Structure 1
């Protein structure tokens, strides 16, 4: 059974790169869609009920940590993978330190 993946990043090239560069099907996953921001991701989470979300930590509007908190309030079983650049490492540590984030 394939696990459904939703990719969330505000940069179109990164979304498409992550979608196409990884051999998702060979790994047992299928990318059901992508989202450009937190609000869109919440809507697509509702539509697709993904098993895994890859989430950019820095996005305009609702950032990745806020999105994770909103998703966790609705779905405690989902796996979340935080995408972060080196400059965002301290910010990412906040997410890892909280109980609502999986360490992948």
Structure 2
């Protein structure tokens, strides 16, 4: 399982007005057990694009990055981990609006 150590969230501005709803970008630093296939000495970050539209919300896209190098990490989260990340985003996306 993933342990979240820190995160940032920002609202993505749609200057052209082509997207419906609101989009948010999360950068979630996670700690992974050394025995896990996702483990890297440089640390791991999950970059998430999260959508909130008319009462529905969810992950549009996510990718894994090495924290120090920002290098793309070509793995997928397990279903349980993905649900955990989505629940976390759903709980915290409104924090981006508070900063405006």
Both proteins in one fold, TM over 0.5: no
Q: Using structure 1 for the length normalisation, give the TM-score.
A: 0.26
| More strand by percentage | 2
- Select the structure that is richer in helix: 1
- Bigger radius of gyration: 2
Higher relative contact order (CA 8 A, sep 6+): 1
